[in-house]
Amino acid sequence: MTAQSLAKPMGRYRWGICALLFFVITINYIDRQVIGVLKPVIESEMGWSEVDYGNIVTAFQLSYGVGLLLVGRWLDAVGTRKGMAIAIALWSLAAALHSVARTVFQFVLVRMALGVAESAGYPGAVKSIAEWFPRRERALAMGFLNAGANVGVVLTPIIGITIAGIYGWQAAFLVTGLLGLVLLVIWLRFFRQPADHAGLTGEERDWIEQDGEQMAQEPLKWRDALRQRQAWYFICGKFFTDPVWYLFLFWLPDFLAKTQGMELFPKGDSGILATIGPALIGVYLLADIGSIAGGWLSSSLIARGWSVNRARKTTLFAAACLAVPLVTVASVPSSLVAVLLIGLGTAAHQAFSSNIFTMIADLYPRNAVATIAGMGGLAGSIGGILIAQATGWTLELTGSYVPIVIYAGMAYLIAFLCIHLIVPRMEPVTVNEGA
């Protein structure tokens, strides 16, 4: 039976798995983002300089990047259920340990532990999408999954600021670590491979397997991947665009405080959430829209008969254009305009990200997906390290965000150009003989 002749199945269990992966990424982002939301408070209490904070962010990025390179191939070898369970347990413990850190060095150590453990999140989630969805639905599923990052960032100021305001910043890290342990129990209860899942109907299983994709006999080796131009599209795309996302994650509260005069904690009758809290919620709600819309657009174009190559790249180009207005955000006089521009930028990033992640499964066998995701993730973390150092030193020396946001606005057009030049036509890779 051909893919075209299959009707959509009655079963929707695959979307339940997508919801579970959504929560995995949500908790993953809450754990890493708390420090950015509470930066003004911790910085004041600890006496950090901008360079100190830049070094703490760099420690996370470095360990996260190295972890991605190692964990991606490890996940392809041990499988997503076992590998993700181990990772969730470890990153929850690392998140809780932030509560006992007192020096810059101690924060560096716990951030490094968190980075290594959390590096399994995206490679494992992308691999799971490739296992649970046919090609025509992957971008949409990836869009919903990617929205978990935005929801995590939206929830972080609500959880972090509220708990820190009542019980102190240490309690915020303890609570987020506990959320991860709850997630671990749910993961072990519900996640299986499609072939092993009792809740999956035969009809839905046929729908998932409609593309007839082959599995590679052996895990993809890094040296072999580096010889393939298809791997380099993702490596370059992540290197240029991930730094912008990390800039949003770790400096956005500080950016809003310094350029728009917003405050973290309320004063007088301003309510539980400070002005920065609602601003962050607005930014990442727009990012949610971008993530789902980006996944929907390319999936819809494919359903209308467009080639995968044309559909994915049209969506990437549209997202890249949407990010360009970020170049002006440091100098706009209105807080509302600043929040809207940043929201458009995060929406553009998530639409772009959903599609370049999905392209891995378009080009590689399912048991090579996490390896490529990890390699690109390392490149993105290297870019994140560079933006952390550049931002820390730029602020220390000039106090201005202008050079940083100019790069943020242009990064996606640069990445799109690289992707199109590297893979002008999306031709799947043959890793080795299919099993």
Indicate which CATH number applies to the domain containing 256: 1.20.1250.20
User: Does the residue 213 lie in any domain?
Assistant: no
Q: How many domains does the chain have?
A: 1
DSSP codes, 293-340: HHHHHHHHHHHTT--HHHHHHHHHHHHHHHHGGGGGGGG-S-HHHHHH
> Per residue of the chain (435 residues), what is the pLDDT tens digit?
444 555 566 568 888 888 999 999 999 988 888 887 788 788 878 777 777 887 888 888 788 888 887 887 788 888 888 999 999 999 999 999 998 888 888 889 999 999 999 999 888 988 898 888 887 788 888 888 878 877 887 788 788 888 888 888 889 999 999 999 999 999 998 888 888 777 777 788 887 787 666 555 566 777 887 788 888 888 999 999 999 988 887 778 778 877 777 776 555 544 333 467 778 788 888 888 888 888 889 888 988 888 888 999 999 999 999 999 999 988 888 888 888 999 999 999 989 988 988 888 888 877 777 788 888 888 888 888 888 788 878 887 887 888 888 999 999 999 999 999 998 888 877 765 433
What is the pLDDT, as a whole number, of residue 118?
92
CA distances from 242 to 120, 195, 315, 396 (A): 16, 34, 18, 23
Whole-angstrom distance, CA of residue 153 vs CA of residue 27: 9
User: Does the residue 374 lie in any domain?
Assistant: yes
User: Does the residue 5 lie in any domain?
Assistant: no
User: Does the residue 8 lie in any domain?
Assistant: no
Domain that holds residue 46: 13-191+225-422
SS3 of residue 281 by DSSP: helix
User: Does the residue 243 lie in any domain?
Assistant: yes
User: Does the residue 102 lie in any domain?
Assistant: yes
User: Does the residue 348 lie in any domain?
Assistant: yes
Whole-angstrom distance, CA of residue 216 vs CA of residue 203: 25
User: Does the residue 298 lie in any domain?
Assistant: yes
